[in-house]
Amino acid sequence: MRNLQRHLFLLILILFPFFFNATTIPFELIDGKIVVSVNIKNIPHNFIFDSGAFTIVSSELKGQLNEKKSKIIFEGVDANNAKSKMEVFSTDHFQISDLTIKDVNFSFADISWMSGRACKKISGIFGANMMKDKVWRIDFKTKTINVFEKSQELSNNFAAVSFSQENFTGVPKINVKIRNHNIDFIFDTGSGMGFTINEKSYNQIKDKDFLTFEGLLSQSLNSIVKGQRQVDLMEVELGNTKLGDQIIDSSSDSPNLIGTKFIENYLVDLDFINKKIILGKAEKTPEYNSFGIAVAPVDNSLVIVNKLEIPQLSELHLTDKIIRINDTDTVKMNLEKFCKIKELFEKNSSITIENDSHKKFTLEKTNVLKYLN
């Protein structure tokens, strides 16, 4: 009996790491951004899970992390290619689920605009430098991230590619072939798009069939980008695996990014141990569902800030003021009312808008990629 108990005990010790080596982190998907809860001194804070960035903490939390100032000055470049210099601090006071992450470098910044866009208080960016030495399995089907201390077998392994990293930030970079052109990308879980390519690269691979969006294109840590961007479907090859047609959109001069509009179609292992990105077989095909317009509060009014250039929307224009959406009055806009409007856009497949000329338009949410055919 004693020998049997001893053998059972040894067996449990051997198998223990396989049963208990994962931390599960639930997340919300807000505007294509993965939002997780990070505990700072047992108080939960919402952070954007962003493999394309260095860790950033809201300036409002200064003094609450027992932070230590280093001699490092971080010279950052945001998603719109705007440069900035920030002081670097370190702390041992980050906890996500039951995982404590120690010796984290980060910078403080004013990120209040993120909360307004998300309609949720955002306190920081969970950057790539917090992901080192672990495997982060991102599952959009269950909206969870599983964290492993060792590399894992991924069921339905479909494609894999090695990545390099930026020296200080740890941001992963991979090479992707699009229409037989090799292009370097940042694997960016903080981007809500598919494959975002700078204008120079896009001009090398574009054809005559694409969609055009005009207006406010993006906002990031230090900049806002306005203008036009093109959206297309192009054949993509990752490693030696052809992924079929994927959503490609152009930008002005930002770094090339791979975002959640692509990542959400796969089970993804972001392996910072072996420096690999592994994709499970695709759960669905790429879609770009939209009403064709985006609205935002400007000077207490609700205005159209982005629009798809198609004949069906020709009577709507950038900067048009919207005074009603369905039964909701939008004349005097504030953040609370805007968040209700945002919810209407997310939950409805059809909306009726009225502009300040009292003309009404009924818009249907649809996969706008169909206009490419």
Query: Which pLDDT band holds residue 77 (cuts at 50, 70, 90)?
Result: low
CB 73 within 8 A of CB 87: yes
94-140 per-position pLDDT tens digit? 999 999 999 999 999 999 989 988 899 999 999 999 999 999 999 99
Return the SS3 of 343. Answer: helix
Query: Which pLDDT band holds residue 72 (cuts at 50, 70, 90)?
Result: confident
Question: What is the C-alpha separation between 119 and 296, in angstroms, rounded?
Answer: 12
- The model scores a pTM over 0.85: yes
Structure tokens at 293: 């317009």
Across-strand partners of 95? Answer: 39, 100
Question: What is the C-alpha separation between 220 and 197, in angstroms, rounded?
Answer: 16
Signed CA dihedral, 208, 213, 214, 215: sign only: negative
Query: Which pLDDT band holds residue 18 (cuts at 50, 70, 90)?
Result: very low
Question: What is the C-alpha separation between 301 and 330, in angstroms, rounded?
Answer: 7
Structure tokens at 53: 């960035």
Question: What is the C-alpha separation between 364 and 132, in angstroms, rounded?
Answer: 43
Of 189, 146, 138, 162, residue with least CA distance to 273 = 162
Burial label, 156 (beta-carbon count in 10 A; 0-12, 13-18, 19+): exposed
Q: Which CATH class is domain 289-366?
A: mainly beta
Torsion of CA 278, 235, 288, 138, to 10 degrees: 0
Instruction: Examine the pLDDT at 187 and tell me if it is beyond 90.
Output: yes
CATH 2.40.70.10 fits 152-280, yes or no: yes
Question: What is the C-alpha separation between 150 and 133, in angstroms, rounded?
Answer: 9
Question: What is the C-alpha separation between 76 and 83, in angstroms, rounded?
Answer: 6
Query: Which pLDDT band holds residue 12 (cuts at 50, 70, 90)?
Result: very low
CB 334 within 8 A of CB 366: no
User: What is the pLDDT at residue 215?
Assistant: 86
**Which residue in this structure is represented by tokens 């089970």?**
267
**3-state DSSP helix/strand/coil % of the chain, to nearest 5:** 15, 50, 35
For the beta sheet containing 276-280, the strands, ordered from the edge strand earlier in sequence to the opposite edge, are 22-26, 144-148, 135-139, 267-271, 276-280, 157-162
Q: Which residue has the higher pLDDT, 182 or 17?
A: 182
| C-beta atoms surrounding 10 within 10 Å | 10
User: What is the pLDDT at residue 253?
Assistant: 63
The b/e string for 108-128 (b: 16+ C-beta within 10 A; e otherwise) is bbebeebeeebbeebbbbbbb
Structure tokens at 199: 């204008």
Q: At the fourth CATH level, which superfamily is domain 22-138?
A: Acid Proteases (2.40.70.10)
What's the alpha-carbon Rg for the chain, to the nearest Å? 22
Signed CA dihedral, 94, 132, 136, 261: sign only: positive
Return the SS3 of 258. Answer: strand
298-326 per-position pLDDT tens digit? 889 999 999 999 999 999 998 899 999 99
The b/e string for 54-84 (b: 16+ C-beta within 10 A; e otherwise) is bbbbbeebeeebebeeeeeebebbbbbbbee
Domain boundaries of the chain, sorted by first residue = 22-138, 152-280, 289-366
Instruction: Examine the pLDDT at 289 and tell me if it is beyond 90.
Output: yes
| 152-280 and 22-138 share a CATH fold | yes
